[in-house]
Amino acid sequence: MECVLEGEHICKEYRLYQRTADRLVEAVTGGKIVRGKRHTALRDISFSVEKGEAFGIIGSNGAGKSTLLKICAGVLEPDAGELHKCGKVSALLELGAGFHPDYTGAENVLLTGRVMGVPRSVMEERLPGILEFAGIGAYADQPVRTYSSGMFARLAFAAATNVDADILIVDEALSVGDIYFQNRCFRRFAELREGGVTLLLVSHDLETVRNMTSRTLWIENGTAKMCGESREVCNAYAAEIHRKENEDYLKRSKREAECGEETHEAADERAEEFKAVPPGVPGIAPKAGDILSGSVRILHCYFENAHGEAVSELTGGTFCRLVIVFETEEELQRCIVGFVLQNRKGVSIINSNTLTVQGGKTFPVRAGSLCRVEFAMNFPVLYQDIYVLDCAVAEGESVMENELKTWIYGATTVMVRPQGTCLAIMDIPQKVTVKTSDIGLKESIAAGGRSGVHAQV
Amino acid sequence: METGETLGGRSGLNHKYAERVSLLWDLAVNDLRRAEKDTVLGWGWTFVRPAVSLIVYYVVFSLFFAMPDESPGVPYSIWFLSGMLPWLFHAECLGTGVYCFSEYGYLVRKICFPVYLIPLIRLISTFIIHILCIALLGALCIFENHFMQIRLIRLVYVCVCELFYTGTGLFVCALLAAFMRDMESLTAISLQAGIWAVPVLWNMRKVPRKFAELPAFNPMYHVVQNFRYAFGCEETPGSGLSLAVFQSVCAVLLLLCILLYRKLRAHLPDVL
């Protein structure tokens, strides 16, 4: 395959100065008089993108994604390393093409085309289509400074994808559009790629990157962490985010743990000895707002897949187990363990406990023991998002009458992916039957104007 | 890195430069039109503003302050205006153009654009108005029965000089202004004072003999003198000294343009 974009050991440093004039002095004297502070944005990044390929770039904020895109777009120059590109690059950096706020939408489109080397007459022919795509209607002849951010981004996108570029660079441009616009954008991407256009996409939305691109580069702190097949890289990135979140929990727990008898690490070790938890599952760190008691402590709360592996992502409709591990120093004669699964907006999706599942039965736990409770289920097909899980241990007779021993808010989070699409909160398995009956429509069409007679008869 | 791959990179070099020139022209026309945005008269303002000031100068200096002994054989207003026009072009260009990089920051930050064209946009758009003013001055000459001679062809040379000197000066000032705002005030002040360093409002003939060569060290003098010469308002196109000074200053400015641009180009997206 033909390589259209290739970066070799690209490095980029930003220089920070007290005054911009210092930058001038340094640039002119070659750094002999003033030297600004250095901030390394990219360190030895190498990658190559083939013709017609969709290539993703992911990474947390400040990782250097935008800098790399700017270098690819030719706006910035790398301090070291080389970038080879062949073909015309059209870039949508930070939601705006080179639009001037005082010019009207139409003028800006024409100007963008001109700057990108498309003759004015060609651009004028395309203008109606571009405005139509952007859906800005009567605003076409208004200065773009009067546009809403969505209109601006839509027009910028429409303009940038209509200038016969060989390489299209898109930096988070789609996040402002609504779902219809995003959908149209994706179709446009597909069209362009069929025409041999190479796509470079930066997004925080892993799902977009996973679906849109074939290969992905993951940058962290200016260095390439991973580069390969999008699915693998995105999964590794998601796992890393999850790991970091848990690390934060642990750090906080270390600070906040003041119960003298034993540390969480010790409890973790014991739990692993007990073989209740696969290694690597993080412990629960109590946060402000959690209900705690000195005697009962939830140690772990996590989802397991069918193979017994701890997971942070679940696919709706598949088998999984929710595992809650706790220890108690007092005897719980009528123990109840429960959980609540909430969506991002705090709406409870599942509220369940051992009492209701087992038909009003409780179970006893001896003092000083470790207990593992598993809720096995077919996970529901939910809207694709991150869900938060609270878990609790109580002692009592019923859901109404019990003594809450501990309640941990946000004990774990789980990313849910639906099987297929789920556009509402949830989806259920359904069976569809379609029946049709012949009402003689065919004949009436064939008979032309006589259909009226048929109806009367 | 080659910044211009966006512009017809796959075709020949000639095509690339033809493309740039046409792009530059489009941008310059747009630059003019932007000033007239949201006005009723629209395009008219482009011409009306300089024309009115020209006519005011003309009326004032032909009716109220006419000083015939300042310019023997030539209507004073014509003599005055033929000195004032090149200066106005120079002052307008530098005065408004010094901000051009921040004005056109969107072309630097967001897209791959041959950044060196940006000062030229302002140069060309101001020059279009300048040409209109020259035409108007020509009309006034005919009105005043001041017949121009074959020397008028020299205007072509003068225009080249103007474009080169003002263009390179603008490029350096604008580039420096992107890094230090002081340049903006500095340019404004030097333009204010600068008009008195050129024999526009005063006459060379009034200069004491021992200072007679002094104005020749101002490159603008060469431009003004040649402009007047082309319009038949001066007898000589200036001394050889003034030509030498003009040429060397231009050479130094061009060198500065190239050096500064090379050093500072990479920093521009960071400061705008």
Q: Could you give the percent of chain A with pLDDT greater than 70?
A: 84
Show residues of chain A in contact with B3, CB under 8 Å: 74
CB-based contact A73 B111, cutoff 8 Å: yes
Distance in Å, alpha carbon of A107 to nearest chain B alpha carbon: 9
Report the distance separating Cα B8 and Cα B14, nearest Å: 10
pLDDT in tens, A38-72: 888 888 888 888 888 888 888 888 788 888 888 88
Q: Could you tell me the pLDDT band of residue A259, with boundaries at 50, 70 and 90?
A: very low
How large is the average pLDDT for residues B160-174? 92
CB-based contact B6 A114, cutoff 8 Å: no
Show residues of chain A in contact with B27, CB under 8 Å: 111, 114
Question: Which candidate from B26, B108, B111 shows the least CB-CB separation from A91?
Answer: B111
How large is the average pLDDT for residues A231-259? 67
pLDDT in tens, A304-322: 888 888 888 888 888 999 9
My answer on whether A74 and A116 are in the same domain is: no
Which residue of chain A is at minimal alpha-carbon distance from B29? A111
Site of tokens 């200065």:
A143
My answer on whether A67 and A170 are in the same domain is: yes
- Residue A307: inside a domain: yes
How large is the average pLDDT for residues A258-284? 60
Q: Which two tokens stand for residue A38?
A: 């250095």
What pLDDT is recorded for position A268?
A: 58
Q: Which residue has the higher pLDDT, B144 or A390?
A: A390
Report the distance separating Cα A152 and Cα A176, nearest Å: 10
Residue ranges per domain, chain B? 15-271
Q: Could you tell me the pLDDT band of residue A338, with boundaries at 50, 70 and 90?
A: very high
What pLDDT is recorded for position A376?
A: 92
Question: Which candidate from A15, A87, A98 shows the least CB-CB separation from B111?
Answer: A98
My answer on whether A70 and A184 are in the same domain is: yes
Q: Is the pLDDT of residue A205 over 80?
A: no
Domain boundary among A160, A186, A202: A160
* Cβ proximity of B166 and B115 under 8 Å: no
Q: Is the pLDDT of residue A257 over 80?
A: no
My answer on whether A139 and A22 are in the same domain is: no
CB-based contact B106 A115, cutoff 8 Å: no
What pLDDT is recorded for position B240?
A: 83
Tell me which of B5, B6, B29, B272 to substitute to probe the interface with A (most A C-beta atoms closer than 10 Å). Answer: B6
pLDDT in tens, B52-99: 888 888 888 877 777 766 666 778 888 888 888 899 899 989 988 888
My answer on whether A263 and A386 are in the same domain is: yes
What pLDDT is recorded for position A450?
A: 41
Report the distance separating Cα A237 and Cα A226, nearest Å: 9
What pLDDT is recorded for position A442?
A: 59
Residue ranges making up the domain that contains A129 = 93-160
Show residues of chain A in contact with B114, CB under 8 Å: none
Domain count for chain A: 3
Report the distance separating Cα B65 and Cα B80, nearest Å: 11
My answer on whether A276 and A364 are in the same domain is: yes
The dihedrals phi and psi of B46, each to the nearest 5 degrees, come to: -55, -40
Q: Could you give the percent of chain B with pLDDT greater than 90?
A: 13
- Residue A456: inside a domain: no
Q: Which range has the worst mean pLDDT, A353-362, A445-454, B59-68, B116-125? A: A445-454
What pLDDT is recorded for position B2?
A: 38
Distance in Å, alpha carbon of B267 to nearest chain A alpha carbon: 8
My answer on whether A121 and A78 are in the same domain is: no
How large is the average pLDDT for residues A271-275? 57
My answer on whether A139 and A43 are in the same domain is: no
- Residue A414: inside a domain: yes
Distance in Å, alpha carbon of A21 to nearest chain B alpha carbon: 5
How large is the average pLDDT for residues A6-17? 85
Q: Is the pLDDT of residue B13 over 80?
A: no
Report the distance separating Cα B163 and Cα B128, nearest Å: 11
- Residue A332: inside a domain: yes
Specify which of A24-28, A284-288, B226-230 reaches the highest per-range mean pLDDT. Answer: B226-230
Task: Output DSSP code: residue B61.
Answer: I
What pLDDT is recorded for position A264?
A: 54
My answer on whether A267 and A216 are in the same domain is: no
Specify which of A261-270, A337-346, B59-68, B241-250 reaches the highest per-range mean pLDDT. Answer: B241-250
Q: Which residue has the higher pLDDT, A208 or A125?
A: A125
Q: Is the pLDDT of residue B252 over 90?
A: yes
Q: Could you tell me the pLDDT band of residue A456, with boundaries at 50, 70 and 90?
A: very low
What pLDDT is recorded for position A448?
A: 46
Q: Which range has the worst mean pLDDT, A6-15, A191-200, A284-293, A360-369? A: A284-293
Interface pTM, i.e. ipTM: 0.76
Q: Which range has the worst mean pLDDT, A3-17, A128-142, A162-176, A244-258? A: A244-258
Q: Is the pLDDT of residue B1 over 70?
A: no
Question: Which candidate from B8, B179, B263 shows the least CB-CB separation from A117?
Answer: B8
What pLDDT is recorded for position B250?
A: 92
Question: Which candidate from B27, B110, B182 shows the least CB-CB separation from A93?
Answer: B110
What pLDDT is recorded for position B248?
A: 93
CB-based contact A96 B110, cutoff 8 Å: yes
